[in-house]
Structure 1
Amino acid sequence: MEISTRPFRKDDLSRCLLIEEHTAPKNRYFADVADYFTTTRGELTVALADGEPAGFGKLTVLFDGSAWLELLRVDPQFQRRGMGMAIYRRYLEQIKDMGCPRAAMYTGVKNVASAALAEKNGLHRGREFKGMTLEVEKAPRNKADGLALVADKDRAAFLLEPCRQAFGDTMCCNHTFYQMNEGTYGGFVSQGWLYEGEGCVLALGARFQPKRALYIAGLHGDLEKGLSYAVGQARSRGVPRITVHFPREDKAMEEFYLSQGFVQDPSDDVVMEGDF
């Protein structure tokens, strides 16, 4: 079998959707992001078996210039036959060519195969995160004002730097784990994802699929005030759910979100990361 890689083409879509259906039936979203991924820096790569698509994956350059490795899918009949390694080889070529200082991805804490593949390609296990989701229709209708959009990246750094330890040095939006630094702060401001109020900092947004969920990428200070604002934003935008990730060991945040009606996701996540 000859294995090769090339950039995604529009006529690959139907085959890639079928691969996703077979590999991630409960986490299918490629149809919604295929066009979006062609607009971001970094290649959407297809792995070929004798010229036919057998897997795909995306490298995305984040706000701070680091590489985020996502959406890796390999047809079950071609798993453990070199397709994943071929996509990672293309990842590593891009990391070198674009000068990305760091690369990262996430997987479930129990997904041994995914973590092993990442480790073979220079990544190591980092922080673990717990995910939770709130159905907005079940949330109380509390006062939902008192926060304002942050429009200045220096102000963003002033607000967020003191939160780094509480956030595990990471902010998560659409299961994309952003390392906290000036590049990320500026990116969040540019996307309209950062809010402040008296005694409260809230990072809230959606990288893609904005009608499906809003993501609390960070919440600090007056937690109830920030969450009420997030719920109000979701209601005003017609978004049905809010999702959050926070360090697995942060029991206080876990208790807070549980008390507000959030339900724990089926699996915790681990960030695999490495410097290049």
Structure 2
Amino acid sequence: MNAVDMSIAIRLAKPEDMAALCALDTWLPQDARRAEEIDSWVRAGQAHVALMDGRPAGYGVLTYGFFHDGFIELLMVGPRFRRQGLGAALIEHLTGHCRTQRLWTSTNRSNLAMQSLVQRLGFIRSGIIEGLDEGDPELIWRKVIRPST
């Protein structure tokens, strides 16, 4: 199936979405603390769930702790839902909900798919952080969504 065949809807995640979000998260099997993070994001109103034909297929987290600007802290698309436009839809949704002039995100240098996606959506590479994941630096990206006044 491709994105044309699927109906995408995005909304704030609810506590009853927890099991589905945990099932989609590919990092959770490596670190059980991720479930606590997901729960915290959901309860804080920071997690947005993407539904494809009514089923949870991915989620994104929008926070404001990065120098008080919007920050896409996490974008997770379930493996079987990738390459169908869901990541772009989530980022566009989060961009539309961002309350600040700038929106930031980051990804590992090894994550070429995410780098391609954010570039395509108008983000500009803005920096690098070494040492978070040994041998795989974190690349920082920003997008101006509202010009300063």
Q: CA RMSD in A?
A: 2.2
Cα deviation 1:32-62 (Å, max 9, x = unaligned) = 113322454x631000010000000100022
Q: TM-score, normalised by structure 2?
A: 0.82
Hey, what's the Cα distance between the residues in 1 that align with 2:90 and 2:84?
12
Residue pair 1:65, 1:101 contacting (<8 A) in 2 also: no
Secondary structure of the structure 2 residue equivalent to 1:265:
coil
Q: TM-score, normalised by structure 1?
A: 0.46
* Aligned: 1:275 with 2:144: yes
Residue pair 2:28, 2:34 contacting (<8 A) in 1 also: no
Hey, what's the Cα distance between the residues in 1 that align with 2:64 and 2:85?
25
Aligned residues: 140
Alignment of structure 1 residues 83-232 onto 2, 5 Å: 83-95=86-98, 98=99, 100-131=100-131
Q: Which runs of 4+ in 1 moved over 6 A?
A: none
Q: Which has more radius of gyration?
A: 1
Hey, what's the Cα distance between the residues in 2 that align with 1:47 and 1:25?
21
Determine what percentage of the aligned residue pairs are the same residue: 27
* Aligned: 1:2 with 2:7: yes
Unaligned runs of 5+ in 1: 132-244, 246-263
Hey, what's the Cα distance between the residues in 1 that align with 2:116 and 2:37?
26
Residue pair 2:18, 2:39 contacting (<8 A) in 1 also: no
Secondary structure of the structure 1 residue equivalent to 2:110:
coil
1:217 alignment partner in structure 2: none
Residue pair 2:15, 2:42 contacting (<8 A) in 1 also: no
Hey, what's the Cα distance between the residues in 2 that align with 1:24 and 1:272?
25
Aligned amino acid, residue 41 of structure 2: F
1:60 alignment partner in structure 2: 63
Structure with higher RCO (Cα < 8 A, 6+ apart)? 1
1:32 alignment partner in structure 2: 36
Secondary structure of the structure 1 residue equivalent to 2:51:
strand
Secondary structure of the structure 2 residue equivalent to 1:62:
strand
